[in-house]
Each structure stands twice: as structure tokens, then as C-alpha cells.
Amino acid sequence: MYVKCSRLGYARKVFDQMPQRDTISWNSMIFAYSGEGNMEVAQLLFDSMPERDVVSWNTLISSYLQSRNHHKCVEIFLQIVKEGVCFDHTTLAVVLKCCSFLEDFILGIQIHGLAVKSGLESDMVTGSALVDMYAKCKYLDESLRFFYAMPEKNWVCWSALIAGFVQNHQFTNGLELFKEMQSQGLVVSQSTYASVFRSCAGLSALSLGHQLHAHALKTNFGTDIIVATATLDMYAKSKSLVDSRKVFNSMPKHSVQSYNAMLVGYVQSNQGPEALKLFVNLIKSDLGFDEVTLSGAFSACAVAKQLSTGCQLHGLVMKSKFQSNVCVTNAILDMYGKCGDILGAKGVFDEMIRRDAVSWNAIIAACEQNGLEEGTLRLFVEMLACGMEPDEFTYGSVLKATAGKHFAKYGMELHTRVIKSGMGFHPFVGSTLVDMYCKYGLIDEAMKLRDRLGKQNIVSWNAIISGCLQQNMEDEALRIFSLMLGTGIEPDNFTYATVLDTCANLATVGLGKQIHAQIIKHELQADVYIVSTLVDMYSKCGNMQDSQLMFERALERDFVTWNAMICGYAYHGFAEEALQVFEDMKREKVKPNHATFIAVLRACGHMGLVENGWDYFCSMQSYGLDPQLDHYSCMVDMLGKSGQVGKALQLIEDMPFEADDVIWRTLLSVCKMFGNVEIAEKAANSILQLDPEDSSVYILLANVYADAGMWDEVSLMRKTMRKNKVKKEPGCSWIEVTGDVHTFLANEKAHPSREAIMEELNLLYNEMRELEYLPERDFSLNVEIG
């Protein structure tokens, strides 16, 4: 009675005072202590027993199974066999379960032989355990063969078989077996429901999941905590968080596992703040938490970029029993890395007692994601020195770190190591290599490497298309996109976004509209990444009406969408509209970034709103943003165009970093507007120190001298250009007409329609003369068609 009521203290007193103890009382005490997790006392009691029966042995090995000491469980079973103790179906079922956990197929076969020899093979309990063992050891054919050979089957056998297939990611086969089980009229257990819901999650089969949910409700399993947890997990993994939350809220009772499923669902859908709210509710519920909960919570902090919350969670872990848990520590390390705190990540890594491959991958990825390429390579070398073998994730991070041209030597050495490791044809590693070669500008090599990959996937194609775009090879990017379509590979949102960027750079609005039509056809128009690119593409093609339409119809807007709209208005001179959208952005509590302020400052520059621009410039730090060179360049342009050239120079000299050629060129341009020769000379000298072969500097400074009537200096500039062999780069422009892009270079006469174009230009020039339009004295109409 005391044992069943979990009153172990009273039970022990009664046991100690018993004048005679039978086997049942001994077994009861062993069961009680093992149930409390005190295996030392349980083992001591077992060793002290004067006589043992099969229940005694079964109680002990079951206890070791429950405490996850599988090797000890097997050791005791071998002792049973050695001593010739009679065992039963329960004994075999327990030790076969241990084989499943250990994935020890050889031992499992030997126990199967013992079952045949002892006549227990046809027993339902032993048979179910054998089905489970073969499946968990990944011998599905053996499991299926034995299952169909069983003379009699119940729901336990079916559940073990279905679970085995599902755990080996054979989701479709698992569902087919469930269908066959149903056809035989067998009842469905909670474990079977858990397996089939997992299959639906693995296949993202939301419609079938809905049907199975209805089936579970009909059989009164809807409120069962295990079935409900599997159901909400299925909805979460099928990206239906609304249904997942409904199931969670309808549960009369929750478990840590149900909280975990919901929390991980939020994290996988990039809803970090919601996941953290759920974690707080769990803490308040007194249900406790486990390593899965903590790992999910740290991932939520990483997704939401909430470093301060992550630090508080770290403090909670340090006070708990999970402070040395490698899974939790890896999640902490990953959180610091993704939140940009590389020192915090290194601190956690250095203090780790035990490091596994995930630990090394997390710290290497943290360095790579935070732009520490040399640190990434150094850690990779340390990992190899520790005898840890890199996997596809390690190579993925290290290859990304070597993707810059100045790391090309290391990247190619890494490629050699990848080939030697046998991972050269791994889809993820292969695609990363393709991307690396694209960033070196070696597009042909990247194409050859992609062709060698056994299975062509969208990632490798995307890498090449994106690489062409990064190398300003827009026409080649479009050609490769066309090749990809010819192979039958379906573009994804990244492909479409990259091709739309190409259309934006070429100002080919016709092709952009065709891509837009394909996006609508594939129902990708709700994707926030796609919407942002469409807003950007239409604005760069000069179609602000459609750009605004895309922005207004967007179901979801992130900071990229807002930036695209603000930049579009600013670049086309709609300064008031740009500033209005910025104010709307602030009202929507969307945090601006550096790109936002560049567009805002340019808008202020268009309108001559110097004071407003200065206020926006100074407000950047309130958003945690330090002004960069581009922002200073905008302010120099704004101040210079308002006539405050001296103040613009002072701003450059007060910058916390060295000025580049762009900002000095901006100052030189405004000097020409106001004829400030002294500051123009200073700007020109600064540019030539940074880039002695920049022809535009000589021309701009010569124009400043010309405006000031300093013709000797103009002549000197021309002589200096000839002496230094500096040549003016020819101007280039292009236009799309009926789907074809026509390129025009100054001083070239190769265009097939040159004569017709020149004739039209002469007509325009004659009309201008008739209207008594005279060009500004700084310019002359001298058109050369290429």
C-alpha cells in the first residue's frame, strides 16, 4: 500500500520490521527505489535477496531501462542467460528495447534467436518488441517481414511498425501502413496518432493533417495530452500557427512537451517575440522546463535579436541543472553569435567542459556571420587539431568566410580538402563552393562545378545567377536564368528576387513585368522579400506608380520594403513623398537602418532642407546607428549645394574616420557650382592621393578653373593628363526598346541604327534652335552614337 501511495519512507520502515520477507515484498521495495531513481539502493536490495524469481530480474532490468542505463540493462540480461535463470516475454521485451536505443542490431538478432529457441517468438509482446527493434536499428525490411509473418497482430504491433517507419523518415510508407491498419478495423492508440501526425508534419501535408485531427476528435483523443501535442506540432511544422495555437489553447492540461512544440513552431516561423512570451507563461506555470525548452528560448532570442533577454536566460541556466548540458550551451553560443556579441560567444565556448561538432560549428558560424574571416579560419584549424572531423555545416561556414577575393588562395585549398573528404558532391557544400567561385569572379569555373554536382538544385543555380549580378554581368545572369528554366527547375523566391534586381539594374521594365506575372502565377506575391524587390524594381525602372501600388498592396512590410519605397521616391526627386513614407514608417514602429537614412538625407538634399537633414543626421544615434561614410557624403552634398562649402569641408575633417574618394568627389562637384577654387584644389589633391588614375578629377578641376577664368591652370590640367597618360572613360548609356537593350558608348559608331538616330537628333536640335533654346555655356551638344 505504502509503495503504491509513493510513501517510500513508511514502506521501508514496515519492510525493515518484517520478521519474514517474501519475494513479493523484496520486489516491491526494488520497484519503489528504482521508481525514485535511486538505483544504488535498488541494486543493493536485489543483491541481498535470498531468493529471486523472474519478476525480480524483470524489475531490475526495467529499472535500468527507465533510468536510461541501457548498457547495464544488457549486462544484467547476459547475467540471466549465464546463470540459466528462466526468463519470460517481459524480459525479452525490455532487453530488445535496449537494443533499439543502442541500435545494436547484432545483439538484437541474438535475442531473436533466444526467442525462437524458448518458443516466445510468436508471443505478441515479444513480437512487437522485435518489430520495434528491427525498425529502430534501421532494418525496415526485416521489421516488415517479421511483422507479416506474425500469426496474430494487435494495435501494439501495428503502432510499433508505423512508428519505426516514421522515425526513419519513411513518412509516406508510415501513412500507408496506418491506412492498412484502419482497413482491418483496429483501434488507434495515442502513440499511433503521434506517429501519423509526425508523418503529416514531415510531408507538410496540412490537408491530411486536418482530416486526421478530425479523426482524433471523433475517437475522443482530441484532448489527450500526447495526441494534442502531436497535433499542434504538426500544424506548427506545416506553417499553420493559427491552428497550432488553437489546439494549444483548447488543451485542458499542458505538458512541457506541448509548450516545447508551440515554442519551436514560433521560432521556426521567425516569430521570436511570441516564442519568448510563451516561455514566460511556461515559467509561471510551474511545469518546469527541459533542454529542448531552453534551446528553443535561446533560438527565439537569436531570431528576435534580443541580446539582453538572451543574457537573462543565460543567467537562469547558470542557476539550473542544465548549466553543463552541451545542447543548451550550444544554443547559448549560437544566440550570442547571431546577436552579434562575438565576445560573449567566445566566452561561452572557452568555458565549455565538453565540446561536440555542433559547438565548433556554432563558434565558427558566429565568427563568419560577424565578418571575422581570419578568426573563422583560425578556429577551423583548431578544430582539426583537436581531431574533430568537419561536416557539411563546418565547410559551409568556412567556405563562406573565404568567399572574398583576398582569401581566394585559402578557398581553393579548402576546396581540395573538401574533395579529399568525399563531400565535394554534397548538395549544400557543392552549392557553397559554386557561390565562392562566383564571388571570386570565376563564373565559368562555378558553372563547371555546378555541372559536376550529381543532382542539380535551385541553390546552386541561385548562387550563379546572384554571382553574375554581383560581378555586374546582368545579361549573363538573365541567360543563366533562362537555362535554368529550360532544365525544368522551378525558381524560388530568392531566384525571382535576384532576377528582379537584374531587371532593375538594366531598367528592363518589360522583363520585370513578365517575372511579376510568373510570381503571381506561383502565388509568391505575398512573400515580403519578393514584394520589397518588386517595389525596388519598378522604382528603378522609373515606374513609380506601380512601385507605390506594390507597396500599398503589401500584406506584410519589413524595413526593406519601407526602404525600397523611400529610396524610390528620393531617387526620382519626390522628396516630400519620401519624407512622408519615412514618418509613416516611424509611426508603424519599424526601426530604420543605415540605408533608410541615406534615402532620407538624399530627399532632404533634393528639397534643400538643410536644417531638417541635419536633424535627421543627428537623430541616427537615437536608433543605435552611427553615421557612415555614405551619410557624411549626403550631408556634404546637402551643405555644399546650399552654399556652405566651408562647413562641408569642416564636416569631412571632423569625421571619426578617413574620408574616401567618393566624399571628396562630392565636395569637388559642389565647389564647381560655387566656384570655390581653394577648396576644389584641396578636394582634388585628396582624391588623387587615393586614386591617381581618376580622370574625372582632372576634368572637374579643369572646369572649376575654366569657370574662374584661370586658363593657364586649365591648360596645365590637360598637360598633366597627357603626361600621366590619363584618359577620360567614355560615357555609357542604354535603353530597352521592344524587349531589346541598346547600349551607346561615346566615340563609338558601331550601332546599326546610327544614321537614323543621328537624323532624329538633328531634327530635335533644329526644333530647339527655332524655339530659341540655347544650351548652358558649360555644355555643348556633341553626340557620338555607338
Q: What's the confidence (pLDDT) of residue 308? A: 92
Per the prediction, the chain carries an average pLDDT of: 84
Per DSSP, the residues of 407-462 read: GHHHHHHHHHHHHHHT-TT-HHHHHHHHHHHHHTT-HHHHHHHHHHSSS--HHHHH
- Predicted confidence at residue 5, as pLDDT, reads 47
Least confident of 399-413, 501-515, 716-730, 756-770: 716-730
Kindly tell me if the per-residue pLDDT of 428 is higher than 80: yes
For the record, the C-alpha cell of 273 comes out as 517575440
- The answer to whether position 229 is within a domain reads no
Q: Which tops the pLDDT comparison, 11 or 140?
A: 140
Give residue 1's pLDDT. Answer: 47
Q: How confident is the model at residue 534 (pLDDT cuts 50, 70, 90)?
A: very high
For residue 757, being part of any structural domain is answered with yes
In a domain, 101, yes or no: no
CB 337 within 8 A of CB 366: yes
For residue 767, being part of any structural domain is answered with yes
The predicted pLDDT at position 394 comes to 92
pLDDT category at 233 given cuts 50, 70, 90 is: very high
Instruction: Give per-residue burial for 415-431: e unless 16+ CB within 10 Å, then b.
Output: beebeeeebbebebbbb
Helix (H, G, I), strand (E, B) or coil at 741: strand
Bigger pLDDT: 714 vs 293? 293
Cell of 603: 530627399
Q: What backbone phi and psi angles, to 5 degrees, belong to 742?
A: -105, 125
- Kindly report, residue by residue over 578-593, the tens digit of the pLDDT: 999 999 999 988 889 8
Structural contact between residues 512 and 478, judged by C-beta atoms closer than 8 angstroms: no
Structural domain boundaries enclosing 772: 731-786
Q: What is the pLDDT of residues 93-110, one digit of tens each?
A: 888 888 888 888 888 888
**pLDDT over 70 at 781, yes or no:** no
The pLDDT of 538-542, averaged and rounded, is: 90
Radius of gyration of the chain (CA): 36
Is 638 within the bounds of a domain?
A: no
Tell me: pLDDT of 6 over 70.
Answer: no
Is the model's pLDDT at 783 over the cut of 70? no
Q: What is the dihedral of CA 217, 223, 224, 228, to 10 degrees?
A: 80
pLDDT confidence of residue 30: 67
The pLDDT of residue 577 is above 70: yes
Cβ contact 520:535 at 8 Å: no
Query: Does some domain include residue 772?
Result: yes
> Does residue 741 or residue 416 have the better pLDDT?
416
What number is the average pLDDT over the span 595-602? 90
Q: Which of 318-322, 370-374, 552-556, 742-746 has the lowest mean pLDDT?
A: 742-746
pLDDT band for position 329 (cuts 50, 70, 90): very high
Ranked by mean pLDDT, which of 138-142, 311-315, 501-505, 554-558 comes out on top? 311-315
CA distance 244 to 229: 9
Q: Does 613 map to a domain?
A: no
Quote the pLDDT of residue 360: 93
Q: Let me know if residue 748 belongs to a domain.
A: yes
Give residue-wise pLDDT tens across range 682-705.
888 888 888 777 777 777 788 888
Distance CA 275, CA 259 (A): 10
> Does 126 score more than 80 pLDDT?
yes
| pLDDT above 70 for 35 | no
Question: Based on the structure, what is the number of domains in the chain?
Answer: 1
The predicted structure's pLDDT at residue 199: 92
Among the residue ranges 1-10, 174-183, 374-383, 510-519, the one predicted with the least confidence is 1-10
Q: What confidence score (pLDDT) does residue 680 get?
A: 84
Specify the higher pLDDT residue, 152 or 551.
Answer: 551
pLDDT for position 229: 93
Q: For 603-629, how does the pLDDT look when each residue is reduced to its tens digit (9 = 90+)? A: 898 888 899 999 999 999 888 889 999
In contact, 551 and 565? CB cutoff 8 Å: yes
